[in-house]
């Protein structure tokens, strides 16, 4: 958990650091601790920073998750990324993605992914928007067990989408999906979230994340990880 402390501190300090320079975004944090017959601790945090003009959009994002049960670490994940977009029309854009991931309980010591592609808004109304993306790139993965023997470089095909729906003035539903297909492994992630506004800047967020690794048996012997979180979100 010590490795995640700097990430948490950075997330909490970002609103003050970027607001003065005209950036927008959000920082969120969720923590739980139980004691008694069992002692469980979990921590998850995330940030999104966005800067946009008529031609370009620049997004920086990251998340971290840590869990411990009865003194034994059960999860440790970190992801950081940057995604620029070049606006073509009011409904289409070109994008690139650079992402770093580390997930010790999926045996991933380090994973770098570089993508480029095309995005299009399939549907837009006053309350809802649906975007779809397709692209390709390269992925390099260094695995935790025998890293020298399992260092892989592979091409990947990417398909993703995002749906956002303003249910009311104080409630917003989002669904994000990404699939990265490679010859050695297919990585799928689905994030479903409901965000409820408490004040103009503070919200409560309930989310459920599903991650699937097609060909990699993690240290817990499962290809699917699921995380349900309740976070406090500060928007700026």
Q: What is the pLDDT of residue 4?
A: 47
Range of the domain at 36: 2-235
- For position 91, which CATH number holds? 2.40.160.40
- Taking the C-alpha atoms of residue 31 and residue 44, their distance in angstroms, rounded to an integer, is 7
**Sign (positive or negative) of CA dihedral 87, 93, 96, 101:** positive
Phi/psi for 37 (5° steps) reads: -65, -25
Whether the Cβ atoms of residue 164 and residue 174 lie closer than 8 Å to each other:
yes
150-158 LR contacts (CB < 8 Å, sep 24+): 152/184, 154/182, 154/183, 154/184, 154/185, 155/182, 155/183, 156/113, 156/115, 156/180, 156/181, 156/182, 157/181, 157/182, 158/97, 158/115, 158/117, 158/133, 158/134
Q: Residue 188: which residues within 8 A CB-CB, separation 6 or more?
A: 177, 178, 179, 180, 210, 211, 212, 214
DSSP category for residue 2: G
Cα–Cα dist 230/236, whole Å? 20
**What 3-state DSSP class applies to 12?**
helix
Whose CA is closest to 157, among 132, 139, 131? 139
**In what helix (H) or strand (E) does residue 10 lie, and over which residues does it extend?**
helix 5-19
Asked whether 158 and 179 are in contact (CB, 8 A), the reply is yes
What is the structure's pLDDT at 12? Answer: 46
Q: Going residue by residue through the chain (236 aa), what tens digit of pLDDT does each one get? A: 555 455 445 544 455 455 546 689 999 999 887 776 667 888 999 999 999 888 999 999 999 999 888 778 878 899 999 999 999 999 999 999 999 999 877 778 899 999 999 999 999 999 999 999 999 999 998 877 655 555 678 999 999 999 999 999 999 999 999 999 998 789 899 999 999 999 999 999 999 999 888 866 544 456 788 888 899 999 98
Number of domain units in the chain: 1
Residue 223 is predicted with a pLDDT of 75
């Amino acid at each position: 958990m010590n490795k995640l402390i700097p990430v948490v501190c950075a997330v909490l300090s970002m609103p003050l650091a970027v607001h003065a320079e005209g950036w927008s975004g959000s920082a969120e944090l969720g923590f739980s601790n139980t004691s008694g017959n069992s002692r469980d601790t979990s921590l998850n945090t995330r940030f999104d920073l966005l800067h946009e003009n008529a031609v370009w959009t620049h997004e920086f994002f990251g998340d971290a998750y840590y869990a411990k049960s009865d003194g034994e670490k059960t999860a440790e994940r970190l992801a950081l990324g940057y995604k620029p977009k070049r606006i073509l029309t009011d409904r289409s854009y070109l994008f690139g993605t650079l992402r770093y991931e580390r997930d010790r309980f999926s045996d991933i010591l380090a994973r770098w992914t570089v993508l480029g592609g095309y995005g299009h808004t399939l549907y837009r109304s006053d309350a809802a928007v649906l975007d779809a993306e397709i692209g390709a790139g390269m992925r390099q993965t260094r695995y935790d067990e025998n890293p020298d023997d399992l260092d892989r470089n592979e091409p990947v095909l990417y398909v993703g989408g995002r749906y956002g729906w303003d249910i009311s003035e104080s409630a917003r539903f989002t669904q994000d999906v990404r699939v990265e297909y490679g010859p050695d492994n297919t990585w799928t992630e689905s994030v479903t979230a409901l965000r409820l506004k408490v004040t103009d800047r503070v919200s409560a967020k309930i989310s459920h994340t599903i991650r699937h690794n097609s060909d990699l048996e993690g240290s817990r012997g499962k290809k699917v990880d699921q995380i349900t979180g309740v976070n406090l979100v500060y928007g700026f």
